[in-house]
Amino acid sequence: MTTIRQSPNDLLAALPLVDFELLCARLKPVDLRFGQVLVEAGGPLKLVYFPHDGIISSMVSLGQGEAIEVAMVGCDGVFGGSAALFGGTSPTAAVVRYPGKASVIDVAHFRTVAELSAPLRAALMQKQCIQTMQAEQTVACNASHSVEARLCRRLLQSRELSGSDRLPLTQDMMAQMLAVQRNTISLVAHALQHAGVIRYSRGHLEITNLDGLIRRSCECYDADHAHLSNASVSRGDPRQRVRNRGDHRMADQRSPS
């Protein structure tokens, strides 16, 4: 089957051309702004998001104002696809963790296309399965691995989805990622910085030693990629493909103006 060869979003790129064109007629480009709340938990879902290089976090709110990140969506998938087909409300809040661009389509048109496109429905089901497997991996990870190893895993995931070594992350955000206390993050981030793995200051984190970060990550990092590599919507090794894209962007960041 002929597919669209040049799309920055994996799910869109994997669709047969005829199915992509059904979506493309209604897709619009948008900017994802850091910290932007796209939808509140339980709120009506108006748009379905296909990130290009930004990262959208799904957040669950707990008592006393706590919020925990339960999933990240980047160029590898879609936010709101399943919810748009089943109920039209978002079970989680969606917050932009990393700024970038995305393609969006309103929910009504997305439903119409999904009714016509079996490949789109299959891709949505597959991405939902992958997300479930990753969530299960995270449950095991949280129970078995150190905070340092878990943080390294999440930083590697963020690097691959954003294509950048520079991440706008506060200690509060990292605490939400791992469901730990802020002071725990402070100690772990200090240790990683002392080891030369990251550079961190006032909500800006830079990965300075990628190999060191990988060595300190847990086995769940490789398990994540096993899930992705086995998915037909993935275009080759996601770790290498996104890393290559990130290397180009990071080279641009280092280039003199």
% of the chain with per-residue pLDDT over 70: 87
* Full DSSP string of 58-100: EEEE-GGG-EEEEEEESTTS-BSHHHHHTTSB-SSEEEEEE-E
Whether the CB-CB separation of 89 and 43 falls below 8 Å is answered with yes
Burial of 146-185, coded b for 16+ CB within 10 Å and e otherwise, reads ebbbbbbbbbbbbbbbbbbbbbbbebebbbbbbbbeeebb
Q: Domain range for residue 250?
A: 10-254
CB atoms under 10 Å from CB of 142, counted, come to 14
pLDDT the model gives residue 7: 82
Query: How many domains in the chain?
Result: 1
Residue pair 145/218 in contact (Cβ under 8 Å)? The answer is yes
SS3 44: strand
What tokens does 245 get? 């894209």
What pLDDT, in 10s, does the model give residues 160-190?
Answer: 999 999 999 999 999 999 989 999 999 999 9
Is the pLDDT at 220 greater than 90, yes or no? Answer: yes
Structure confidence at residue 249 (pLDDT) = 41
Give CA–CA dist 164/158, Å, rounded.
Answer: 8
Q: In the structure, what pLDDT confidence band is assigned to residue 256 with cuts at 50, 70 and 90?
A: very low
- Structural domain contains residue 1: no
- Whether 50 has a pLDDT exceeding 50, the answer reads yes
Residue 2 counted as domain residue: no
Q: For residue 226, which amino acid is it?
A: A
Question: How confident is the model at residue 224, as a pLDDT?
Answer: 86
The DSSP symbol for 179 reads T
Residue 1, both tokens? 């089957």
Q: What is the CATH number of the domain that holds 155?
A: 2.60.120.10
Residue 137 inside a domain? The answer is yes
- pLDDT tens digit sequence for 226-253: 877 766 444 444 444 444 444 434 433 3
State residue 102's pLDDT score: 96
Cα dihedral 221→224→226→229 (10° resolution)? -120
Using one digit for the tens of pLDDT, what is the confidence trace for 77-104?
999 998 898 878 998 999 999 999 999 9
Measure the CA–CA gap between 77 and 100, rounded to whole angstroms: 14
Residue 52's alpha-carbon distances to 79, 122, 168, 231, in angstroms, are 12, 21, 17, 19
91 phi and psi angles, rounded to 5 deg:
-70, -20
Look at residue 6 in the predicted model and tell me its pLDDT. Answer: 67
Residue 5 lies in a domain: no
Whether pLDDT at 117 is above 70:
yes
Tell whether 224 is covered by a domain: yes
Sign of CA dihedral 158, 179, 221, 185: positive
- Average pLDDT score over the chain: 86
> What SS3 class is residue 25?
coil
> Tokens standing for 108?
């009504």
